[in-house]
Structure 1
């Protein structure tokens, strides 16, 4: 019996109900869920009872008491996953072993930028770098809380852990920093793997206890449902709902036998998908290119002050439809008289009279961005740092950006020539 069969055999008696769905390995995409028969719209294809979820309530209380009182649910769930692996003979491990066995390995998650060398992280697009910086800060905070417990548990200091004596005084901390860093790297890598599993596989969930926490803490892991892959078309995905009984997944269209059934992780561009989930879709309808660097470089300080006063400083993007309204406002600051600019901002002028000048400026900015993307593709292609799949993912992301830029450049040029 392989790991997928073991998971289904484990999940069924616990109340997980698959109705016309079955797990299947997807080349290059891990495991997905496919239709095993014809499925009709609005059919419930999967049910997961509350008792099967891994939530704040299922993290062992002795572990919770040893960790910082304000630790995130993300950090707690990752600690539970990681320390469960440290002690595979535990009762909790036997309870979740079949589920754990189908989770992605560290190699499977290697395309997540959190695992990349700094040299590759530095070459991410600006939007992705900013998301990654926030993610790294969250991880660092969680690891700082978990580290003493992980070191004590893995190092055999069970007596100290059991008594809750996990604090480290200043002199001990100095010794740990100098002598223990190398030994800690293995534990840190294991915790990072567990942390990424939580990051990529949780569902939005709340109850009375979680409602007292920030929205980011409203999360739960659930077996089998975490095998659903993502699609950007949220009109044809399974509809997810939950109540006091558990989660239900309903089909939104007809599926034929063998069709993969998806859910939508959200209307995310590829920078978000790459940082949070470790993949980027070539045909992502929600993808966009952030233009802040090239637009802001053209504005002087007084122009930036005016844009900030009116709430239009930054967050300039190009998507598959064109540049956003915020970009139109910012670029008009460069080519319109103040009265014209103000009328456009107030909605009293549709801007048609100045659109040609705006398009010309935008065209120059997009060409600059295109040159930057081409340079990044060439630079990453000549590197040997990191894993091949990491470099390939980074090149892929820049090529997606290049394609969006090129498409809109052609659109502007064609408009001018018509």
Structure 2
């Protein structure tokens, strides 16, 4: 989804606004008659970048946005496309994010010929997640975080290799790792939870996702309280807020109660005053410090932990 509150200088009591790009104007025009809530307008804010501004006051309990199902990119969207034809012919199964990644790349190559082009052309060209960082920069992280990033990068390569294997019989579609990485993080950072039925052509893992044009311009705040769900009565994905916003305020949602480690790896940002942040301590480091301090019975305690397979993942709240 959109960028979050950054640690930048606040200008004035309310967020300053600047002119929209042509791409955002086109997106707004494309969705204006489809999105239920014309009071939100794409805006550039000094401290967050792109976001959505309200043109009227919003009160707790209001539906701030509703996207009709035909304008969500879901499993059904993918299965009805040429990617779906490939999935139905193949003996290999991809998860939905892999299939949606292929879909997004193919649609982006169509440009104006794709019905999704007004949305795709406003997607970021790159991301601030560690997957886009230089290897030399990754070495600056702590041991624990580096291990997590390394594991995530290994999984990313595996997902890509599975896609290449899946496409090996299709000479018309060639996907580079950079194209894959871009599309993967477009989905990873912007997808919503969307419950869908199982399909014989898609692996069940990570299948409940969708992309929601316009909605993903909403930025994250730890103080935001929202309820998001698909409303079967009006066939729309809705977000209800429990916060108040004044006219011309930026409207925020919550991506979840995530630590800075999670936010960095999944979305590419951190929050300086994140109430959900934690310190992660490595078990081996704790044992080493205890031994250096000559604490009593450390070997016995270590043996009990190992014999009983006690969780060694230690977290402390960052107050």
Per the TM superposition, whether the score is higher than 0.5 is yes
Aligned pairs, number: 284
TM-score (norm 2): 0.79
In terms of Rg, which structure is larger? 1
Q: Which residue of 2 aligns with 1:25?
A: 44
> Structure 2 matches for 1:154-233, cutoff 5 A?
157-158=171-172, 187-209=176-198, 214=204, 216-233=206-223
Higher relative contact order (CA 8 A, sep 6+): 2
Q: Is the 8 A contact 2:30 2:118 kept in 1?
A: yes
Structure 1: gaps spanning 5 or more residues: 167-183, 322-418
- Tell me the distance in 1 between the aligned counterparts of 2:238 and 2:116: 21
Shift of residue 88 of structure 1? 3.2
Q: Which residue of 1 aligns with 2:25?
A: 5
- Tell me the distance in 1 between the aligned counterparts of 2:136 and 2:303: 34
Q: Which residue of 2 aligns with 1:42?
A: 61
Q: Tell me which protein shows more helix as a share of its residues.
A: 1
- Tell me the distance in 2 between the aligned counterparts of 1:18 and 1:118: 44
Q: Which residue of 2 aligns with 1:54?
A: 73
Q: Which residue of 2 aligns with 1:265?
A: 255
- Tell me the distance in 2 between the aligned counterparts of 1:66 and 1:88: 26
- Tell me the distance in 2 between the aligned counterparts of 1:192 and 1:114: 8
Structure 2: gaps spanning 5 or more residues: 1-20, 292-297
1:141 is paired with a residue whose SS is: helix
- Tell me the distance in 2 between the aligned counterparts of 1:25 and 1:152: 44
- Tell me the distance in 2 between the aligned counterparts of 1:58 and 1:204: 15
Of 227, 230, 238, the residue aligned with 1:242 is 230
Q: Which residue of 2 aligns with 1:141?
A: 158
- 1:215-270 Cα offsets, whole Å, 9 max, x none, are 5331111111111111122xx33321223322111121221012221111111110
Q: Is the 8 A contact 1:7 1:99 kept in 2?
A: yes
- 1:96-135 Cα offsets, whole Å, 9 max, x none, are 01001211112xx1x2101112222233234433432342
Shift of residue 312 of structure 1? 4.3
- Tell me the distance in 1 between the aligned counterparts of 2:68 and 2:191: 15
Of 108, 118, 129, the residue aligned with 1:112 is 129
- Tell me the distance in 2 between the aligned counterparts of 1:127 and 1:66: 42
Q: Is the 8 A contact 2:95 2:205 kept in 1?
A: no
Shift of residue 150 of structure 1? 6.8
